[in-house]
Amino acid sequence: MRLTSRQQVDIATQRGASQQTLRATVPALEEVLFKPLPVLDHGFVRVIDYMGDDAAVVQAARVSFGRGTRKVNEDAGLINYLMRHRHTTPFEMCEIKYHVKLPIFVARQWIRHRTANVNEYSARYSILDKEFYIPSAEHLAAQATINRQGRGKILEGEIAQRVLALLRKEAERAYAGYVELLNEDASGELLDPQRTGLARELARLNLTLGFYTQWYWKTDLHNLMHFLSLRGDPHAQYEIRAYAEVMLRTLERWVPMTYAAFLEYRMNAAAISATGLAVIRRLLAGKSVTQPDSGLSPREWRELMALLGR
């Protein structure tokens, strides 16, 4: 992860300023406020702002004044109840805003979550940095033979080196072409005074999906957890999962009781179909059940047996 000297100064300025407020603040989240949390090779996640905490969820559920005088275990119990029974509205009362630097192909997956407010870095207005994503060796894998959108065997040896070299070579060549088309440096000065550069909105056309973009992403707590439940799942693509894992740590700092309930009833829980539940009941009754007579497809059967550890 590379930060420019200007960005470092901006972060230091933001963290050096202290403002008095009557709003609820969370010391654990304040510790990392504005700080870039590294992701992948050049990316990061920064918490820029937030509103509310665990007490705000409880307050919304009870529609009460102030922060209340109930015990912490009562608040945790209520949050567990809300999470368990999918009463989502109280969680929507809390919001958080992130600054994220991410590869363009990750951004295209991320933007599918349409429940946030997004403002992305404009390559029509500014010049993109020469930063592109190159997978580390342990994440360089062949296409899966069963899952069409997954990875299979890890590439090794000469093949892996060839792939990495090709990825880097193509990215370098694409950026060199980008600069040539622009005919200007980051300050806007022409590199060749004898010719005019191509418009920035057109010069970006040959850049690959591996180049980095940035955006501000603001969402409420309910939709953040929905995003994390999908993108933090082991089946999600590694690159977006890496961002979700960092954001999970910010969630733990921000709303620890909600985070614990989220792990218990969402992230580490399982949804079972009505037919799957019927199979479990038959197994508990000591009956023999096989896939053909279970009512489940072969894939559903494999997933259920894996869930049960059978």
Q: Are residues 215 and 285 in the same domain?
A: no
Q: Are residues 113 and 236 in the same domain?
A: yes
- Asked about 195 being catalytic, the answer comes back as no
pLDDT by residue, tens only, the chain of 310 residues: 667 778 888 888 888 887 888 888 999 999 999 999 999 999 999 999 999 999 999 999 988 666 655 677 889 999 999 999 999 999 999 999 999 999 999 999 999 999 999 999 988 888 899 999 999 888 888 877 776 677 778 888 888 899 999 999 999 999 999 999 999 887 778 888 888 889 999 999 989 999 999 999 999 999 999 999 999 999 899 999 999 999 999 999 999 999 999 999 999 999 999 999 999 999 999 999 999 999 999 999 999 999 999 8
CA 228 and chain centroid, separation: 6
Q: How far is CA 177 from CA 180, 184, 198, 202, 204, in A?
A: 5, 12, 11, 12, 9
Q: Are residues 63 and 154 in the same domain?
A: no
Among residues 46, 204, 231, 253, which one is catalytic? 231
Alpha carbons 156 and 146: distance in angstroms, whole number: 21
Cβ-Cβ contacts under 8 Å for 299 (sequence gap 6 or more): none
Specify the pTM.
Answer: 0.90
| Listed residues 160, 188, 208: the one ending a domain | 208
Q: Are residues 61 and 8 in the same domain?
A: yes
Q: Are residues 42 and 107 in the same domain?
A: yes
Q: Are residues 36 and 87 in the same domain?
A: yes
Q: What is the pLDDT of residues 175-188, one digit of tens each?
A: 999 999 999 887 77
Q: Are residues 238 and 105 in the same domain?
A: yes
**Structural domain that includes position 124:** 1-132+210-269
Q: How far is CA 211 from CA 42, 131, 133, in A?
A: 10, 6, 6
Q: Are residues 102 and 171 in the same domain?
A: no
Q: Are residues 227 and 183 in the same domain?
A: no
Cβ-Cβ contacts under 8 Å for 294 (sequence gap 6 or more): 275, 279, 301
Q: How many domains does the chain have?
A: 3
Q: What is the pLDDT of residues 254-272, one digit of tens each?
A: 999 999 999 999 999 999 9
Q: Are residues 2 and 63 in the same domain?
A: yes
Q: Are residues 156 and 77 in the same domain?
A: no
